[in-house]
Amino acid sequence: MVGDTELDILCGKNAEAKTCAVSYGYRKIEDIKSHKPDYLINDLNEILKIIN
């Protein structure tokens, strides 16, 4: 699950999926980091490094 809010991260964790927060979007990065996503990216292209 890739998202820019804590709700995205919580949803992914509840589904027992890997979670990836993006540093841009609606929420402050400190708030989303507090939910401990598996990955944190600054650019969507970075997702390729994770899935490969």
Residue ranges of domains in the chain: 2-46
- In this prediction, residue 5 carries a pLDDT of 94
- In this prediction, residue 29 carries a pLDDT of 87
User: Strand 2-3 to strand 20-22: parallel, antiparallel, or no bridges (unpaired)?
Assistant: parallel
Q: Provide mean pLDDT across the span 29-41.
A: 94
As a whole number, the mean pLDDT across the chain is 94
Are 26 and 44 in contact by the 8 Å Cβ rule? The answer is no
**Distance from C-alpha of 1 to C-alpha of 11, rounded to nearest angstrom:** 8
- In this prediction, residue 27 carries a pLDDT of 87
Residue 18 has pLDDT above 90, yes or no: yes
Residue 23 has pLDDT above 90, yes or no: yes
- In this prediction, residue 20 carries a pLDDT of 97
